Structure formats: C-alpha cells, structure tokens
C-alpha cells in the first residue's frame, strides 16, 4: 500500500487533449477516476496544432489523445487506458484473470471499431460537419447499442465484473454523447442505468456537451 500511495503522490503526467474529443475524454476520465495527477495540455485542433512537426513527433498520425509519462509517450486512447492500468498494478480496472481480461479486450475493440464508426461518426456529422452518410452511421450506432443493451441487461458492468473496468471507461464517452449525433438513447434502459452508474463513480469528470465547428483530428 505504501508503494502504491507513493506512486500516486509522485506521479505527474501530461495529457494532450481537446475537451470535445471523446477519445481524449476517455483518457482524461480514467486518469481522474484512479486519482492520478496529470496536466491537461490543450491541442488546438481548429488551428491545426495536431499537424505541426512538434505534435507529429508525439504521434505521427496527428491525433489526440497522447500521454507523456515523464518522456514515455503513449498514443491512442485505449493504449493509454491499458498503460495506466498496468502501471498501477493489479486492480479491478484490468484484472489478471485471463477470461475477464479477454472480455475487457473484446469491449476495447468494440470501442475502437464499432463505437468509432457508429456513435462517434454520427456525432462527427452533426457536431463537426463530417461527410459520413448520416443514416448509415446512425444505423451502425443502433446496431452496436442494441448489443450493449442486451449485454447490460444481465450485468452491472460491461465486462461482467462486480466493479468497473477500463472497458466501461472506453465505451462511456461516445455512448453518453450519442444524442449529439441524432442517436436516440431513450429506449436503451439498461444503458441509461449503466451511464448513471458510471457518472456516480468517485472523481468522475463529465464529457463536454458543446456543439462546435471543428475539423479533422478529433478522433483516434
């Protein structure tokens, strides 16, 4: 316990983010939930800061979020979740049980794929003016949400655990803001309860609910 507490006192990380990025929010949310000291460094996406040589040295794809842990650079939101969870050591956020870990990895893949091309893409259309087909991405969002809803009918947390994991963190931001992309959540009662449970966690930080004219570089 002493080493764990000392780690939290001494650790200070820098997170490159933007408040309207759901990918950045999931990283910020997890750092906050575990009580890990970190500095938020705003990347001005509208001004193209994500395409500057300085930022591209951090992430050659020119996307946020990026975590700088005393010179160790971790790009990609889900990679940040895994990195931080592993650095903390065994915990309910990423248990060492193989079956549970596999289930968590499954939902991280859903967050990186189906959520990105569904809920996230629908939000990009309405909030950022992206050129996706609205009907197509909204249908994708509902196809994914239906599976999540059915899964949560028998579970408290998405990976079937008694406490939240990084899988819940990975899914939260874009599901919570799905209505910004004209994706109606009113019929998903289990998802609604899960969102409330997540928002009730100690040190929860909300995802900005702001409509803005922002261009590329938002998602990773």
CATH of the domain at 84: 3.40.30.10
Residue 11's pLDDT band (boundaries 50, 70, 90)? Answer: low
Q: Are residues 108 and 156 in the same domain?
A: yes
Residues 78 and 122 in one domain: no
Over residues 36-82, the pLDDT tens digits come to: 999 999 999 989 999 999 999 999 999 999 999 999 999 999 999 99
Adjacent-strand bridge partners of 13? 38
Note whether residue 205 is domain-resident: no
As for how many domains the chain has, the answer is: 2
59 closest CA partner among 40, 77, 37: 77
- Measured CA to CA, the distance from residue 128 to residue 117 in angstroms comes to 15
Question: What CATH number did the domain enclosing 187 receive?
Answer: 1.20.1050.10
79 falls within a domain: yes
162 and 77 both lie in a single domain: no
Q: Domain range holding 176?
A: 98-199
State the angle between helix axes of 166-176 and 77-88 in degrees (0 to 180), rounded to the nearest 10. 150
Q: Which of 23, 55, 88 is the last residue of a domain?
A: 88
Residues 108, 82, single domain; the answer is no
Q: Is 202 helix (H, G, I), strand (E, B) or coil?
A: coil
In a domain, 208, yes or no: no
> 219 lies in a domain?
no
DSSP string, 31-100: HHHTT--EEEEE--TTTTGGGSHHHHTT-TT--S-EEEETTEEEESHHHHHHHHHHHH-S-TTS-S-HHH
What mean pLDDT is predicted for residues 210-220?
A: 43
What is the CA angle 180-36-203, rounded to 5? 50
The answer to whether residues 82 and 106 belong to one domain is: no
Average pLDDT, the chain: 91
- 199 within 8 A of 33, measured Cβ to Cβ: no
Is the same domain home to 118 and 179?
yes
User: What's the mean pLDDT in 151-160?
Assistant: 97
Model confidence, pTM: 0.89
Name the phi and psi angles at 39, rounded to 5: -105, 130
216 in a structural domain = no
Domain final position from 88, 110, 133 = 88
Residues 103 and 40 in one domain: no
Same domain, yes or no, for 169 and 111? yes
In this model, does residue 219 exceed pLDDT 90?
no
> 88, 115, 149: which is the final residue of a domain?
88
């Amino acid at each position: 316990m002493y080493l764990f507490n000392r780690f939290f006192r001494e650790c200070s990380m820098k997170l490159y983010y933007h408040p309207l990025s759901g990918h950045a929010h999931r990283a910020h949310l997890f750092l906050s939930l575990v009580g890990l000291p970190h500095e938020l460094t705003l990347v001005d996406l509208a001004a193209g800061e994500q395409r500057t040589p300085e930022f591209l040295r951090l992430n050659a794809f020119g996307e946020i979020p990026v975590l700088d842990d005393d010179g160790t650079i971790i790009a990609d939101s889900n990679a940040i979740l895994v990195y931080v969870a592993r650095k903390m050591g065994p915990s309910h956020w990423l248990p060492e049980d193989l079956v549970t870990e596999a289930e968590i990895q499954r939902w991280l893949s859903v967050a990186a794929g189906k959520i990105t091309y569904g809920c996230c893409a629908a939000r990009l259309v309405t909030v950022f003016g992206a050129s996706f087909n609205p009907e197509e991405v909204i249908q994708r969002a509902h196809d994914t949400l239906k599976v999540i809803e059915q899964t949560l009918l028998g579970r408290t947390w998405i990976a079937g655990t008694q406490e939240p994991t990084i899988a819940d963190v990975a899914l939260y931001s874009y599901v919570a803001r799905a209505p910004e992309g004209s994706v109606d959540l009113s019929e998903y009662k289990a998802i609604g309860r899960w969102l409330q449970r997540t928002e009730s966690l100690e040190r929860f930080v909300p995802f900005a609910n702001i409509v803005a004219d922002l261009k590329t570089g938002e998602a990773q």
